[in-house]
Amino acid sequence: MISLRRTAHVAALTLSILPITAVTATTEAAAESRERSQAEAAGARARYLLGRLKVARALSIRGYSRERFQTRWAHHKGRCDAREVVLARDGRRVRRNASCHPVKGLWYSPYDGRWLKSEKQVDVDHLVPLAYAWRSGAKRWSQARRRAFANDLTRPELITVSHSANIAKGGQGPQSWRPPRRAYWCRYATSWITVKHHYRLFVTRNERTALLNMLRTC
């Protein structure tokens, strides 16, 4: 009798667990499907915008200096400058001092998939490098427009990444450098195109080809 009761109890538990497991699997599948759809839509939109960008040869780097874009980070919220705003936005459990500078937090670098526990290990990267933007048309901009570009918190131009990844990237475009983490290629390419389209910066033929190849991962 005890054995029968125990068997019935186990069977009842199994029946109660199965629906929950099934619901969980269905929910996860739906989330993955939604993410794929969003990535595909973003990729399609990026291809459309890329097709509207002018294709031209890169301008000369002559005359470029970082100071032509910014002598320092612009302030956006009280004492907080653009870099500090981005570090607070992209980090987890970020603690700042009275001057708004982050003194503690946890940051994820999407370029290489690293989690960083020290502010000294992270950089705020200009997705489209300033030197690259210069050669893509920013050379002809006013100082005010270049400063707005370098401190843009609206477009996906500023992103927190590891210092090592930022150094490896330097001022290169996607035809010369891509994030080591392939899973980020779609987001990287769509963000790059979004920035260039907004600021009406042109692309080179090799750059366009590289972006199209990265968009295949969307």
What is the pTM for the complete model shown? 0.83
- Give the pLDDT mean for 195-216: 98
> Can you tell me the distance from the alpha carbon of 214 to that of 174, in angstroms, rounded to the nearest whole number?
9
Count the neighbouring beta carbons within 10 Å of the beta carbon of residue 42: 19
10 secondary structure, DSSP code: H
pLDDT digits (tens, 9 = 90+) for 22-78: 444 455 565 556 667 788 898 999 999 999 999 999 999 999 999 999 999 998 877
pLDDT digits (tens, 9 = 90+) for 113-148: 999 999 899 999 999 999 999 999 999 999 999 999
pLDDT digits (tens, 9 = 90+) for 76-90: 877 899 999 999 999
Write down the domain spans for the chain: 2-215
Under a CB-based contact definition with an 8 Å cutoff, are residues 126 and 166 in contact? no
pLDDT digits (tens, 9 = 90+) for 171-193: 999 999 999 999 999 999 999 99
pLDDT value at 7 more than 60: no
* Least confident stretch, 39-48, 157-166, 202-211: 39-48
Instruction: Quote the pLDDT of residue 30.
Output: 59
> Can you tell me the distance from the alpha carbon of 115 to that of 190, in angstroms, rounded to the nearest whole number?
23
pLDDT value at 18 more than 70: no
Instruction: Quote the pLDDT of residue 173.
Output: 97
